[in-house]
Amino acid sequence: MNDDAGTDSGLLAPTWAGSPVEALLTDEAWLRAMVEVEVALVRAQAACGVAPASAVTAIAKAAEAARLDVRHLARQSRAAANPVVAFVPTFTALVSAVDPAAAEYVHRGSTSQDILDSAAMLIGVRVLDGIGADLVRVADALARLADEHRHTLMAGRTLTQHAVPTTFGLKAAGWLTGITDALIRVRQVRAGLPAQLGGAAGTLAAYQEYAKLDGLGRDFDATELIAPFAAELGLAEPVLPWHVLRTPNVELGGALQLVVGALGKFALDVQTLSRTEIAELAEPPADGRGASSAMPQKRNPVLATLVVTAARQVPAYVSILSASMLAEDERPAGAWHAEWQPLREALRLAGGAAHTAAELAEGLVVDVGRMRGNVGLTQGSIVAERLNVALTPALGKATAKKLLTRAAQAAAESGDTLGNALAADEDLTGLISAADLADLLDPAGYVGPVDTLIDRAIRHHRAARHHA
Amino acid sequence: MNDDAGTDSGLLAPTWAGSPVEALLTDEAWLRAMVEVEVALVRAQAACGVAPASAVTAIAKAAEAARLDVRHLARQSRAAANPVVAFVPTFTALVSAVDPAAAEYVHRGSTSQDILDSAAMLIGVRVLDGIGADLVRVADALARLADEHRHTLMAGRTLTQHAVPTTFGLKAAGWLTGITDALIRVRQVRAGLPAQLGGAAGTLAAYQEYAKLDGLGRDFDATELIAPFAAELGLAEPVLPWHVLRTPNVELGGALQLVVGALGKFALDVQTLSRTEIAELAEPPADGRGASSAMPQKRNPVLATLVVTAARQVPAYVSILSASMLAEDERPAGAWHAEWQPLREALRLAGGAAHTAAELAEGLVVDVGRMRGNVGLTQGSIVAERLNVALTPALGKATAKKLLTRAAQAAAESGDTLGNALAADEDLTGLISAADLADLLDPAGYVGPVDTLIDRAIRHHRAARHHA
Amino acid sequence: MNDDAGTDSGLLAPTWAGSPVEALLTDEAWLRAMVEVEVALVRAQAACGVAPASAVTAIAKAAEAARLDVRHLARQSRAAANPVVAFVPTFTALVSAVDPAAAEYVHRGSTSQDILDSAAMLIGVRVLDGIGADLVRVADALARLADEHRHTLMAGRTLTQHAVPTTFGLKAAGWLTGITDALIRVRQVRAGLPAQLGGAAGTLAAYQEYAKLDGLGRDFDATELIAPFAAELGLAEPVLPWHVLRTPNVELGGALQLVVGALGKFALDVQTLSRTEIAELAEPPADGRGASSAMPQKRNPVLATLVVTAARQVPAYVSILSASMLAEDERPAGAWHAEWQPLREALRLAGGAAHTAAELAEGLVVDVGRMRGNVGLTQGSIVAERLNVALTPALGKATAKKLLTRAAQAAAESGDTLGNALAADEDLTGLISAADLADLLDPAGYVGPVDTLIDRAIRHHRAARHHA
Amino acid sequence: MNDDAGTDSGLLAPTWAGSPVEALLTDEAWLRAMVEVEVALVRAQAACGVAPASAVTAIAKAAEAARLDVRHLARQSRAAANPVVAFVPTFTALVSAVDPAAAEYVHRGSTSQDILDSAAMLIGVRVLDGIGADLVRVADALARLADEHRHTLMAGRTLTQHAVPTTFGLKAAGWLTGITDALIRVRQVRAGLPAQLGGAAGTLAAYQEYAKLDGLGRDFDATELIAPFAAELGLAEPVLPWHVLRTPNVELGGALQLVVGALGKFALDVQTLSRTEIAELAEPPADGRGASSAMPQKRNPVLATLVVTAARQVPAYVSILSASMLAEDERPAGAWHAEWQPLREALRLAGGAAHTAAELAEGLVVDVGRMRGNVGLTQGSIVAERLNVALTPALGKATAKKLLTRAAQAAAESGDTLGNALAADEDLTGLISAADLADLLDPAGYVGPVDTLIDRAIRHHRAARHHA
């Protein structure tokens, strides 16, 4: 174990350790994004004519070559309670080595929060793009399952009990719809993530003041910087500096919540349906995956567990982002600082969960026979609701329900089928033929308009998919 | 104290007690909404030709006259862990008294969650409409303040310290922008809140099965019910039943979060600026408001406190809604049930906060003189950043910063002004004229492009306002 | 539906609606507790000689007869952002009607927070006492189950898969231990819940100043009031006023968390083991309980669902209490106010969950045959770990694990037993006799020291139980 | 920037980056703790006679020399959703290199959760010990301030407004008491943190089965291992395996919450009292600390901000731990896994906050003159409550309050003192002498029994301090 190694490489976070999102969110990646923001700033200033092209050249060159000591900067960040204050002189020195005159143009007119918030949004966009691509993979796989298993009968379960029949295709269509809605929201939010540019107290005053030095004089309006700066970063242009208007952060958190929530629903169902006693689904096999340290026979639903693990954490992280909307003054003493780690962890978990879920969805093993077999476990009672409907004209809804309840209990106690219990019930004599009863008892006849429902979900998915 | 009184009339929730939102969220209002959903259901069935017009007439009539015993139903709801199971026979009996044949059409094919989720969305729409109207009031008042106080100088504060000058108009424009963004999202979410229609396990099977009884036969596809049902309720049509796809709830919670967050930012600033030592803002006076039980001289910022109180609670309530996306099977055993109270409380708090904030914004008392006076508290240091800029051509950014830091400290220690400290600094001799220095030291000259920024905020507000 | 009815009678909270805890937490109960606190205050003052006995008599008399208009007071509480400011003059008027001179002694020297915090702690003690009694009921029932089912074989499940055998007695012993630890903490916290007495800013100055009027003069130290005041209320004596030191609230919340967490674990296992496919446990039958609005055959685990519902909400409510430790100044503008409703709801949910769990534990239906049957579902693989151990001396741990993994997979694929798969494996030939293998394959022989473990849990329970 | 560097070195977490707690919680530290747990396990087995001394020697030797590739193990942990499954064969290979026979005794009978939970508790103990030491430093410094500033007059503030006078000594005594209570709880919880030992499903079966191989035979009861194993680690002995009884984790989280909450209250007050307009406190100066990237004159309260930042996050992290009490079966598929990162982050933040607060408390700069000056800001109204008391005998409480309210408003409007406004009020003529009025208006005379209160706090602190 190396003392120089980082403090957290994901040992306790297998949801994202080693997944593609990890590299987007390392300390190094944050520093790199901060460098990119500084470059975009001077480019925007040059585009407005308030910085020389030579400064852009030198700063961009230094940025490309920059090797920064992450741990040293992390430690130094305690002095200002944020990493930018330590980063700026370090980066300035690198620029100075390239071109001393250009050093004056580093971070010119800027403030820590412009750099860090813009860097966060830059990272946010990249993570959302990755998530978007993975959600499309998940959705495509689920759409295939929905289509393929339109009529694969399985038990619909409510409050842990078999309720009425459904099909695995409709179940997959449900997962698909949740994920499609998350995808739509991810794209909306991604398109709106804004650059941050305000200067010390959100007035842009220093940006404007520096512009005077560079010959444009009093007529330069520093709001002109916002659009080119945002464009350089591929971010949206904000109405105002949002140092203390934290809507973008909360919208980003909300999108991540929909991602882990929709994926978590899918994963949780996979876990349930993988239970030894149910065994309708299994995770895609992979060498060594799902192994236990002690039990040779086990195959644990580890992909689903990685996804569920994310879904259990993100609501709390988002609640911190939400609470930070209560940000006093022009920059708060804590509310802003409390956002960074929960935002990072939420991004990592959502990114890792999406990547993991793609593997899970694409390789999901479906046991059609087991699904059909489980439907029969309650010996016919799974269609008791249908019988209730069918008997209503003859008996009225309430009386029919009482009769069915009685028959279902009798069947459960005797171990006999509901059909036999009903056939033996004197109150039914003459009301229904044996053939009609047999027909009604067929669960395949009681799955509702599953085709139409599945078609709706697939259409919704396709529309969203092609809208990208 | 009356034993028959309700358990919670808002004694511990002054944010919403007595405000218009309260009546939308009582137990009575929830029952009323459930009744409306049952009526909408039979109307939709009749529109599709699977229920007779006479059933609609009788059910609507019973609904209008319905007097339900809330406490009795609340107690009975323990038997099924939800209030619908007890409500349905009670309501059915009322219909039966009007027209026994119609009683068969009450809740026909339905399930508890169709009723309760649809009722929740119905209430959600009404609350969001009320919030939208109150946000417009808040925004209009803030837009007026932003416009009127474009050049009202005040201290920009970061990490509790005076940083650089700003104007009260820009501060109000910031509040306005947060609230405008919340309003936009409230309207988006409101437009998408869907009706719930799925039947026992989301297959619509019973709705379809009952339709067979009514003569339409096998060709009726129960998905046809969804659109007219949603239309009856003024709700959106869902792609699929969303019993276990809780996106709508989480989107609703997210919108409420933006509301209380944006209002909370405004209220928190009012509290800070009302501090005895700052005293730049005061709440609108009202007889008896803000009084202390013990201290005759006090006037507490109670309206702002009511708003902040909401903003401190809602993130946690929303986190419960988010966690409930992890809903297993076709209906979960707890995740759904855990949503009801936090959703209700979040709706109440957001509604009460919006109503309260409207009164606060419309009557806010601004002390312009005090704002200007406070700007001078640091004896000129509030424009030190500007001087840093101005001295950069002569000294370089870093040297200028050192000189300014030294002068600012000297001024702070001696109690003298920054101007005098600079005039006495030998390193500055000959670099800047007294007249230029005086000009630079004028805080009114260092507020950046406030007019442009305020115009942006007002335009954004107007566009959103008229989009309604 | 009656317009005068309360806003929330528990229609959406079946966990507590109608349970004994409900009455302890109505608005009326809060007002009643506030009255009790005012009576205790004057009693303490009289005990210290700084109020006349006649004042006590009159105030106590008025308190007994007090009929307060909850809804009116709730609405009035908006003016001060707390209910005490409106309550005090109302109550004073009632005292005045009994004895005008005594009216001067109502709320004498006091402040809203002294009254409301003390009332909250008073209610907290009562709720914890009720919870303690219910936890004892739950624990007693679980101890009986643990003892009775020491050797009732069942599958131990990890990550949803059968792992190794356990017994239902050990499972019950686990639930028992969690609940015992919660009970211990409930009692610790209950014993420490303090009265609140500080006056306007926690200096007790007004209490001391009023004492001067009553002839005791300068030598009276108002801290003398704390102990008798606390004693009157049956609360602990605080070191200091804790207006902005919110440890007691957070400790109370923490105790409630342990209660719902420990009960929730029990209830969640009941839900899982009640699944149609597992069916090892069932809830105690009761007329109409667990019924579905649509499916006649269903019996839902509603008691467990009510408990789980509580456990899903309380962590978020406690997080609000925790965040309120960040309370600025001598009384905060929001942090205090945000505590009231989440504390009330957490108390209600924990109280309702404990009451519900007692019924669940006392009537739990155990299907021993089904448990035993499920153990065999994996055809012997549930003891694969044991075979791994047994084969280690001959093969080494790693080789043995590989062999077992191969055999378990072969058995799973062929549907044959693990025993047969092993018997057929050439690598095992001669290493183990058929009799030894059969012995090793008996799951009853691989449950570890369950008796000792169960005895430990029962001893722990008994020690805690008798410590009360 | 080095691609091999860790993903998170604290760049976004200045509260703990570089503080002593950081090293206790790196991935390397977690691996090291896992190694220690494996060593403790074989030592306990040897102590019970079920493992040879030679195995202990070899395993301990390998442990000391172990160099593990953190990032590789982190990536491998995805295959099992936990890091132990990958760690065990790696560590076993290291032991095997020392002594092949000893390799059979690595992780013998164990399961991932025994190792990881025990490691977490080991780390928890170390962090709590560090926190305890830092809390003592904070408390000692605050006790000195409380004692020294017993009579340093300052304004008591409620709902942001001056209320009545207090002293800085009493304020410090309040902070001290919150922190003392946190310290007491930290020690209680630390003493109870248990080792984890249960085997695959909490039955200890494999530990017992392996023991048979080592000659002790059937009479060995594996519960005998628990006490020596816990003793080796310096942890408490659990009643039962607590794989799914997560009380220890929640109690640990609760203790961390009290730490950051009590420290956060202190830090939040420091921030408020450091405001430019209030300026009663300042942070200890240090070179470069509190500097702004843009404003040369600023000195931000960065230490306080680092502490507040922690206090804003921990409630959410603890809510995740609490939610994980809902852990199904003998090991849950997600609830356990979701605990690791929030627990780690809560430990880091609490440790960093305690370390930071010690520096803050020990160097806090108090401006006594400013405190006294601010008391006078309301021109006497700060003692209006006292005058209300004093005038009660003559006028009655209610009439006196009205008169005072009127006079306080008159004074506020005219800018005159309350004393002059009262002297001019005809209703007071003849009721109070000028000398008595002057005496009553002295705020130093209205601070209540501050000495007694401060003595109580200091005694409480000393008792707790020496109890360690």
> Rounded to an integer, what is the distance from CA A175 to the centroid of its chain?
14
Q: What's residue C1's pLDDT?
A: 38
Q: How many CA atoms lie within 13 A of B309 on its CB side?
A: 33
Q: For residue C45, give the amino acid letter.
A: Q
**What is the rounded CA–CA span in Å between residue C116 and residue C356?**
29
Report the C-alpha gap between C396 and C428 in whole angstroms.
13
Are the Cβ atoms of B177 and A240 closer than 8 angstroms?
yes
Query: How near does any CA of chain A get to the CA of C229, in Å?
Result: 37
Give the pLDDT band of residue D3 (cuts 50, 70, 90).
Answer: very low
Q: Smallest CA–CA separation between D404 and chain B, in Å?
A: 6
Determine the residue among C8, C298, C348 to mutate to test chain B binding: the one whose Cβ has the most chain B Cβ atoms within 10 Å: C8
SS3 C245: coil
- Residues 6 or more apart whose CB falls under 8 angstroms from that of D7 comprise A6, A8, A9, A10, A22, A25, A26, A27
DSSP-derived letter for residue C236 is B
* Of the listed ranges A186-190, B27-31, B410-414, the one predicted with least confidence: B410-414
Task: Decide if D159 and C272 are in contact by the 8 Å CB cutoff.
Answer: no
DSSP secondary structure code for residue D243 in this structure? T
Nearest CB to D18; choose among A5, A6, A75: A75
pLDDT value, residue C367:
97
Contact B160 D384 (CB under 8 A): no
Query: At A194, is the secondary structure helix, strand, or coil?
Result: strand
Rounded Cα distance between B36 and B44, Å, is 12
Q: Kindly list the residues from chain C whose CB atom is less than 8 angstroms away from the CB atom of residue B88.
A: 293
Where is D156: in which H helix or E strand?
Answer: strand D153-158
Contact predicate D156/C243, CB 8 Å: no
Task: Report the pLDDT value the prediction gives residue D411, as an integer from 0 to 100.
Answer: 86
- B184 touches B464 (CB < 8 A): yes
Give how far Cα A433 sits from Cα of A407, A420, C297, D400, Å: 17, 13, 22, 90
Contact D301 B405 (CB under 8 A): no
Contact C59, C100 (CB under 8 A): no
- Token duo for residue B142: 């803030």
From chain A, the residues in CB contact with B221 under 8 A are 449, 452
Set of chain D residues whose Cβ sits within 8 Å of the Cβ of A17 = 74-75, 77-78
Does the pLDDT at position D217 exceed 60? no
User: Which residue among B295, B302, B404 sits closest to D164, beta carbon to beta carbon?
Assistant: B295
Q: Cα–Cα distance between D222 and D228 in angstroms, integer?
A: 11
Among the partner residues B109, B160, B254, nearest to A254 by beta-carbon distance: B254
Nearest to D1 among A68, A335, A337 (CB): A68
The residue-averaged pLDDT of D13-19 equals 96
Task: State which residue of chain A sits closest to D333, comparing Cα positions.
Answer: A305
Residue B1 pLDDT class (50, 70, 90 cuts): very low
Q: Given this model, what pLDDT does residue D467 score?
A: 73
Least Cα distance to C386 among D207, B218, B130 occurs for: D207
| HSE, side-chain direction, 13 A CA sphere, residue C79 | 17
Task: Indicate the residue of B75, B81, B316 with minimum beta-carbon distance to C320.
Answer: B316
Question: A interface mutation test: which of C154, C158, C160, C392 has the most A CBs within 10 A?
Answer: C160
Contacts of D197 in chain A (CB under 8 A): none
Please report which helix (H) or strand (E) contains residue A153, including its range: strand A153-158
Angle between helices A384-395 and A397-414 (to 10 degrees): 140
Is residue A29 within 8 A of residue D12, CB to CB? The reply is: no
- Of A340, A341, A349, which to mutate for an interface test with D (greatest number of D Cβ within 10 Å)? A341
**Of residues B331, B370, B406, B465, which has the active-site annotation?**
B331
> Residue B460: which of B265, B264, B184, B261 has the closest Cα?
B184
**C194 with C237: CB under 8 angstroms?**
yes
Q: Give the helix/strand (H/E) hosting C167.
A: strand C161-167
Of D241, D260, D396, the CB nearest to C104: D396
* Predicted local distance difference test score (pLDDT) of residue D408: 86
Tokens at C4, concatenated: 């005068």
Calculate how close chain B gets to C305, using CA atoms only, in Å.
5
**φ, ψ for residue C385, nearest 5 deg:** -60, -40
Q: Are A257 and B250 in contact (CB under 8 A)?
A: yes
| B157 with D276: Cβ contact below 8 A | yes
In sequence order, the 6+-apart residues with CB closer than 8 A to the CB of A227 are: A237
Question: What's the one-letter identity of residue C25?
Answer: L
Q: Do the chains contact at C9 and B206, CB–CB below 8 Å?
A: no
Q: How do residues B157-171 score in pLDDT, each as one tens digit?
A: 999 999 999 999 999
pLDDT digits 0-9 by tens, B6-20: 688 999 999 999 999
Whole-number pLDDT of residue C3: 46
Q: Write out pLDDT tens, residues D372-391.
A: 999 999 999 999 999 999 99
- For B407, the closest chain D residue by CA position comes to D297
Of D10, D289, D319, the CB nearest to A316: D319
Separation of alpha carbons D392 and D404, rounded Å? 11
- Residue keyed to tokens 């978590």: A264
Q: How far is CA B264 from CA A247, B175, B259, B260, B312, in A?
A: 12, 10, 8, 6, 8
Indicate the DSSP class of residue B446.
-
Amino acid found at B391: L
Residue C27, classed as helix, strand or coil, is helix
Q: What is the distance between the alpha carbons of residues B270 and A393, in angstroms, rounded to a whole number?
A: 66
State how far the Cα of D16 lies from the Cα of D354, in Å rounded to an integer. 10
State ipTM: 0.97
The Cβ of residue D368 has, within 10 Å, a number of other Cβ atoms equal to 14
Residue pair A10/A41 in contact by the 8 Å Cβ criterion: no
Q: Residue D412 is encoded by which pair of tokens? A: 């506020």
Provide, as residue numbers in chain C, all residues whose Cβ is less than 8 Å from the Cβ of B12.
27, 30, 83, 340-341, 344
By the 8 A CB rule, do D127 and D353 touch?
Answer: no
Interhelix angle A302-323/B302-323, rounded to 10 degrees, is 170
pLDDT at A364: 98
Query: Contact partners of B by the rule of 3+ C-beta pairs under 8 A?
Result: A, C, D
Cross-chain residue pair A159–C302, CB shorter than 8 Å: yes
The mean pLDDT of B93-100, rounded to a whole number, is 97
**Bridge-based pairing state of the strands B365-366 and C153-158:** unpaired
Residue A217 is predicted with a pLDDT of 56
- Helices A226-233 and A112-148, packing angle to 10 deg: 50
For residue D2, name the pLDDT band (cuts at 50, 70, 90).
Answer: very low
Kindly state the percentage of chain B with pLDDT values over 90.
84
Chain A: residue whose CA lies nearest to C418: A297
Whole-model pTM over 0.80: yes
What is the secondary structure of A318-386 as a DSSP string? HHHHHHTT---SSB-SSTTGGGHHHHHHHHHHHHHHHHHHHHHHHH-EE-HHHHHHHHGGGTTGGGHHH
Bridge partners of residue B154, in order along the sequence: B166
Higher-pLDDT residue of B409, B321: B321
In terms of Cα–Cα distance, which of C307, A320, C268, D258 is closest to B319? Answer: A320
Residues of chain C with confidence (pLDDT) below 50? 1-3
A344 contact residues in D (CB cutoff 8 A) = 8, 12
Residue among C5, C29, C24, C16 at smallest CA distance from C83: C29
Spatial CA neighbour of B18 closest among C337, C74, C68, C10 = C74
3-state helix, strand, coil in chain B (%, to 5): 65, 5, 30
CA dist D468 and D462 (Å) reads 10
Name the β-bridge partners of A158. A161, B331
Top residue of C317, C324, C326, C455 to mutate, by most chain D CBs within 10 Å, is C326
DSSP 3-state of D175? helix
Give the span between the Cα atoms of D443 and C43, in whole angstroms. Answer: 29
Quote the pLDDT of residue D165.
98
Residue numbers in chain A where pLDDT is lower than 50: 1-3
Q: Which residues of C touch D269 (CB under 8 A)?
A: 328-329
Q: The tokens 């030579």 sit on which residue?
A: A54
pLDDT attached to residue C217: 55
- Contacts C204 to D, Cβ<8 Å: 448-449, 453
Catalytic residues of D: 292, 331
Average pLDDT, chain D: 94
Q: Do B448 and A318 touch (CB under 8 A)?
A: no
